[in-house]
């Protein structure tokens, strides 16, 4: 069942009914100011940090689910409605939500009054625009009242939800003309305030929630809207809001436009006040002037759309499969950018309160965006490296405001260091900027270092932290946060992620071993590029040692083991009653080259197909855990079929896709790709539930009662890894340190495809032909009509277009 359709020309998903199976959201903003917006105007806004600088309030786990947002109400002759359907939920004569790249446009019509609301965050501006166009489509004059509504959060989102004995006495606002300023705590420790304004004279306002809503009313029936009259309330403590009312007459066919602006202002400490007790509004006035008419808003909107066009233009696909083309050319890249901006910090599943930017997460996100924004990837790598300890370990998360490590989570996730090698290598391959390795970035303890020192520390951390089988120690956990082999938690409320009751644990991870041999070749090549030949040889020896350890101690029957637990017992083995086969090491050990020559890789991947495959993707583990295993931790705390306990974790499915391409099985790789790619799931939206234009982290597995139902959409490493799997390994166009490699592994029935790939300033127009209908193999490559040796495109860096013809065979 579909709830809308893709408009590829406009790069939009058009939702045609408001009661989607779950709120389908979009993200506005890409630099510092961000806003989440659902298809019925739910959501919230924040500046840089969703926890510490939350601008508007949102209530998770509420009934109905999507409560609170950027709402507008229309009132006429005692009747009122919401042009976004929610929160009033009066049935509209027409409804449409267009989620585009960095903007959303919601249209509603009721009783011949048509309203279109454009929501977006302008480029390089710390505000969001809500432009309302109201048109009278009837043949008579109409008299209407428009009410706006947002609810301010008192900045710190956790404190906002908990410290009511203080919060109910601190709220402060100021009203000046059509502008409502939120200045709670401004006269104390804060140098920032927010404002909500409209480019029109107003007929009333409210800033006190109880006065606007009525104490016993919901968002669907605010007292002010029901009565058709603002109360001009001024909040003193309690819960500050911002609401305007505008009376208007519309002749038949007449349309009026109103521009509402929600902004964030930060003043220098010495410039907080324009007069004693009067906040300095100079920056606010300027920001309001920047967008105070339709011409300025239209210009800003064009600039936003042009910016996204420019970003996506770096990789464009024409395959003949419209679902594949829209995923690769539009939505997957868009999700990669959003996920890069926010890591896992703020979605409709992450409250934005409990965590910051992930070290592991952010490094993985780089592989999905480095071709679009290499300069921002460069800075992110430096930010991540600065949280690293001298021994190579790292804070698991850092806070986006101060870029310091998150002490609440700490370190101890022993896969973290290796991801810095992946992220940095991805940047170097894309840019060739090897001078970057000499960039000064100190360790967390302040010791001076250059970036290369951090990569070396990352590599050596694995070497120096091996267990009794010469496999890497797992620490708190590896990529699978829920496989906690030193936790041993038996008390409710204990954090699986932090608790360690076995400080002497020698638990080992075969997955980290697979990561090590997969990422080490890039580290070795980086060493060679720097002339560090002795270190390169030493590193290669460590790689060979790790491969031998995997072959000797990491193989079980027809697949790779997952780990050894605290007691030295196998995890992910036929010896286990439950949890015999895990997905993660199967992908990484093969990506690291094990089994490619002796047939083991094929045997392993056949086992994955036989044991883990379902109609909706590959489950993480089989069989699932039916009881709690204290020695394994959180993974066995989930009911069978959900999350890590046999859910379809979309993040790791691409590792199997990549492994399949390495043994030449393009049909199988693409079959796995289609099973979890959202555009291919649009027809079963009532089953899948989350947005059909972005990946979810998890889909319920076959042991779940709701097999096929997705959760945790938007902010997931799934986005970057699936983009890498399809573009670099299935389509086979991937950057190397000194070239662009062409190595497709596609379904045999494909005739070919075309890709536009911008690489180091050159524009490569690549046309792949598959006349013999093979999955893998490049017979001939021509660049600008001249045949080249091999399949490595030269780096011209001349800024010109180059036509590339590839013949498979």
Tokens for 486, please give them.
Answer: 């030193």
Measured CA to CA, the distance from residue 210 to residue 205 in angstroms comes to: 13
> DSSP class of residue 91?
P
Tokens for 505, please give them.
Answer: 């644990």
Query: Would residue 245 be called left, alpha or beta, if left means φ above 0 and alpha means ψ between -120 and 50 degrees?
Result: beta
Please give the sequence-ordered ranges of beta strands (E in DSSP) within 92-209, or none if there are none: 94-99, 103-110, 113-120, 127-136, 142-155, 173-176, 179-182, 192-198, 204-208
Q: Could you tell me if 771 and 809 are in contact, meaning their C-beta atoms sit under 8 angstroms apart?
A: yes
Measured CA to CA, the distance from residue 85 to residue 109 in angstroms comes to: 10
Query: Active site includes 481?
Result: yes
Q: Within 13 Å of residue 220, how many CA atoms lie on the same side as its CB?
A: 12
Q: Could you tell me if 55 and 127 are in contact, meaning their C-beta atoms sit under 8 angstroms apart?
A: no
Measured CA to CA, the distance from residue 330 to residue 332 in angstroms comes to: 6
Q: Tokens 């016993």 label which residue?
A: 216
CB atoms inside a 10 Å sphere around CB 193: 26
Instruction: Kindly name the residue from 160, 416, 478, 481 that is annotated as catalytic.
Output: 481
Q: Could you tell me if 40 and 60 are in contact, meaning their C-beta atoms sit under 8 angstroms apart?
A: no
Q: Could you tell me if 212 and 229 are in contact, meaning their C-beta atoms sit under 8 angstroms apart?
A: no
* β 762-769/801-808 pair status: parallel
Q: Which long-range contacts (CB under 8 A, 24 or more apart) does 685-690 make?
A: 685/1, 685/2, 685/3, 685/20, 685/21, 686/1, 686/21, 688/21, 689/21, 689/22, 690/21, 690/22, 690/24
Q: Could you tell me if 212 and 243 are in contact, meaning their C-beta atoms sit under 8 angstroms apart?
A: yes
Measured CA to CA, the distance from residue 100 to residue 327 in angstroms comes to: 14
Q: Could you tell me if 146 and 330 are in contact, meaning their C-beta atoms sit under 8 angstroms apart?
A: no
C-alpha triplet 583, 587, 593: angle, nearest 5°: 150
Question: What are the angstrom distances between the C-alpha of 47 and each of 5, 128, 181?
Answer: 32, 11, 16
Measured CA to CA, the distance from residue 343 to residue 693 in angstroms comes to: 18
Measured CA to CA, the distance from residue 233 to residue 460 in angstroms comes to: 63
Please give the sequence-ordered ranges of beta strands (E in DSSP) within 334-403, or none if there are none: 357-358, 397-398
Measured CA to CA, the distance from residue 571 to residue 575 in angstroms comes to: 8
Measured CA to CA, the distance from residue 110 to residue 88 in angstroms comes to: 12
Name the burial class of residue 518, with classes exposed (0-12), middle (13-18) and buried (19+) by CB atoms within 10 angstroms of its CB: buried
Q: Directed axis angle between helix 584-591 and helix 600-612, to 10°?
A: 160
Residues with a catalytic annotation lie at: 481
């Amino acid at each position: 069942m579909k709830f809308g359709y893709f408009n590829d020309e406009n790069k939009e998903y058009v939702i045609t009914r408001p009661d989607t199976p779950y709120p389908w959201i979009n993200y506005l903003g890409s630099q510092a100011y961000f806003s989440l917006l659902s298809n019925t105007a739910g959501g919230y806004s924040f500046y840089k940090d969703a926890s510490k600088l939350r601008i508007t309030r949102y209530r998770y786990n509420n009934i109905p689910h999507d409560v609170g947002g950027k709402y507008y109400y229309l009132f006429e002759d005692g009747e009122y409605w919401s042009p976004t359907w929610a929160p009033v939920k009066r049935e509209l004569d027409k409804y449409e939500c267009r989620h585009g790249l960095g903007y959303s446009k919601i249209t509603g019509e009721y009783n011949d009054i048509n309203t279109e609301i454009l929501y977006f965050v302008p480029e390089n501006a710390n505000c969001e625009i809500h432009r309302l166009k109201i048109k009278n489509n009837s043949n008579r004059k109409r008299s209407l009242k428009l009410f706006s509504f947002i609810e301010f959060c008192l900045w710190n989102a956790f404190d906002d939800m908990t410290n009511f004995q203080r919060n109910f006495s601190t709220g402060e606002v100021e009203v000046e003309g059509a502008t409502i300023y939120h200045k709670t705590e401004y006269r104390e420790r804060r140098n920032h305030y927010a404002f909500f304004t409209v480019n029109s004279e107003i007929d009333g306002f409210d800033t006190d929630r109880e006065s606007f809503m009525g104490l016993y009313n919901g968002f669907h029936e605010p007292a002010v809207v029901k009565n058709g009259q603002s109360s001009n309330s001024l909040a003193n403590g309690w819960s500050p809001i911002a609401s305007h009312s505008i009376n208007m007459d519309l002749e038949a066919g007449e349309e009026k436009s109103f521009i509402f602006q929600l902004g964030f202002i930060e003043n220098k400490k010495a410039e907080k006040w324009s007069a004693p007790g009067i906040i300095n509004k100079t920056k606010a006035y300027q920001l309001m002037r920047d967008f105070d008419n339709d011409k300025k808003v239209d210009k800003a909107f064009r600039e936003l759309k042009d910016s996204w066009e420019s970003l996506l233009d770096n990789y464009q696909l024409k395959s003949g499969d419209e679902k594949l083309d829209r995923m690769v050319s539009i939505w997957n890249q868009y999700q990669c950018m959003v996920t890069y901006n926010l890591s896992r910090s703020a979605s409709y599943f992450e409250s934005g309160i409990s965590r910051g930017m992930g070290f592991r997460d952010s490094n993985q996100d780089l592989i999905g965006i480095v071709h679009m924004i290499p300069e921002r990837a460069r800075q992110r790598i430096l930010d991540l490296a600065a949280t690293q300890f001298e021994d190579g370990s790292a804070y698991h998360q850092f806070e986006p405001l101060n870029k310091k490590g998150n002490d609440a989570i700490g370190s101890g996730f022993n896969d973290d260091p290796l991801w810095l090698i992946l992220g940095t290598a991805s940047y170097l391959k894309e840019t060739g900027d090897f001078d970057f390795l000499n960039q000064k970035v100190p360790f967390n303890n302040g010791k001076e270092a250059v970036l290369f020192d951090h990569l070396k520390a990352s590599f050596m951390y694995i070497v120096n932290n091996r267990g009794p089988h010469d496999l890497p120690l797992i620490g708190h956990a590896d990529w699978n946060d829920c496989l906690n082999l030193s936790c041993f938690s038996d008390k409710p409320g204990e954090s699986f992620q932090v608790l360690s009751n076995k400080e002497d644990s020698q638990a080992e991870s075969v997955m980290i071993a697979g990561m090590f041999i997969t990422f080490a070749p890039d580290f070795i090549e980086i060493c060679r590029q720097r002339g560090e030949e002795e270190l390169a040889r030493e590193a290669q020896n460590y790689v060979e040692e790790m491969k031998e350890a995997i072959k000797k101690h990491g193989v079980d029957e027809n697949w790779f083991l997952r780990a050894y637990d605290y007691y030295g017992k196998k995890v992910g083995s036929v010896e286990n009653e439950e949890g015999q086969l895990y997905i993660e090491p199967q992908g990484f050990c093969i990506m690291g080259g094990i089994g490619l020559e002796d047939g083991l890789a094929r045997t392993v991947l056949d086992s994955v197909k036989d044991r883990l495959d379902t109609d909706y993707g590959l489950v993480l583990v089989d069989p699932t855990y039916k009881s709690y295993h204290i020695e394994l931790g959180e993974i066995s705390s989930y009911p069978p079929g959900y999350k890590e306990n046999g859910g379809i974790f979309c993040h790791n499915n691409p590792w199997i896709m990549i492994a399949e391409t390495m043994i030449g099985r393009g049909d199988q790789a693409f079959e796995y790709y289609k099973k979890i790619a959202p555009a291919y799931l649009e027809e079963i939206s009532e089953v899948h539930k989350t947005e059909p234009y972005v990946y979810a982290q998890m889909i319920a597995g076959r042991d779940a009662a709701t097999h096929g139902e997705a959760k945790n959409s938007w902010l997931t490493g799934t986005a970057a890894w699936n983009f890498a799997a399809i573009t670099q390994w299935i389509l086979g166009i991937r950057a190397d340190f000194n070239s662009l490699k062409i190595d497709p592994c596609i379904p045999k029935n494909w005739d070919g495809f075309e890709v536009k790939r911008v690489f180091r300033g050159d524009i490569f127009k690549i046309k792949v032909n598959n006349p013999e209908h093979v999955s893998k193999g490049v017979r001939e490559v021509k660049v600008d009509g001249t045949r080249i040796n091999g399949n490595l495109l030269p780096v011209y860096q001349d800024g010109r277009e180059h036509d590339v013809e590839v013949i498979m065979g």
